[in-house]
């Protein structure tokens, strides 16, 4: 029973922290929603541990805890891949912006030269 309280507390803290970040505008909704959903699900299974046992019986997993670990690992891997994807996209965009900045700076200095020179 204490283990359930611990799990529920951890889920609640996560939920609260993400909610706090979201309110402060430090986290965008598309990421926050994901974490809110995860911590919500964790809270649900902490309060109703019977649900996990029932689920693992349906899926044929002998140890309910293994189902929990398996699902958790899969979800975390998916999130990491998504973050890598977003990061790559941002690197590409930043590179494009850097190139544009370089060319614009050159154009501006040329315009200045023409204006001041003649």
98 is an interface residue for other proteins by CB under 8 A: yes
Which residue lies nearer to other proteins by CB, 4 or 82? 82
SS3 86: helix
74 is an interface residue for other proteins by CB under 8 A: no
92 is an interface residue for other proteins by CB under 8 A: yes
Considering the complex, what minimum distance in angstroms separates the CB of residue 87 from other proteins?
A: 13
Please, are residues 17 and 32 in contact by the beta-carbon 8 Å criterion? no
- Contact with other proteins (CB under 8 A): which of 23, 28, 57, 93? 93
Distance (Å, whole) CA 95 – CA 75: 30
- Kindly list the residues in this chain that would bind other proteins in the complex (CB under 8 A): 89, 92-93, 95-96, 98-99, 101-103, 105-106
């Amino acid at each position: 029973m204490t283990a359930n309280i611990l799990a529920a507390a951890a889920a609640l803290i996560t939920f609260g922290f993400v909610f706090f970040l979201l309110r402060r505008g430090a986290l965008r909704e598309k990421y926050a929603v994901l974490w809110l959903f995860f911590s919500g699900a964790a809270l649900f299974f902490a309060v109703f541990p019977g649900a996990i046992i029932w689920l693992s019986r349906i899926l044929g997993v002998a140890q309910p805890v293994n189902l929990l670990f398996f699902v958790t690992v899969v979800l975390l891997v998916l999130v990491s891949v998504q973050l890598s994807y977003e990061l790559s996209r941002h690197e590409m965009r930043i590179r494009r912006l850097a190139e544009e900045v370089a060319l614009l700076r050159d154009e501006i200095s040329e315009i200045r030269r023409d204006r001041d020179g003649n």
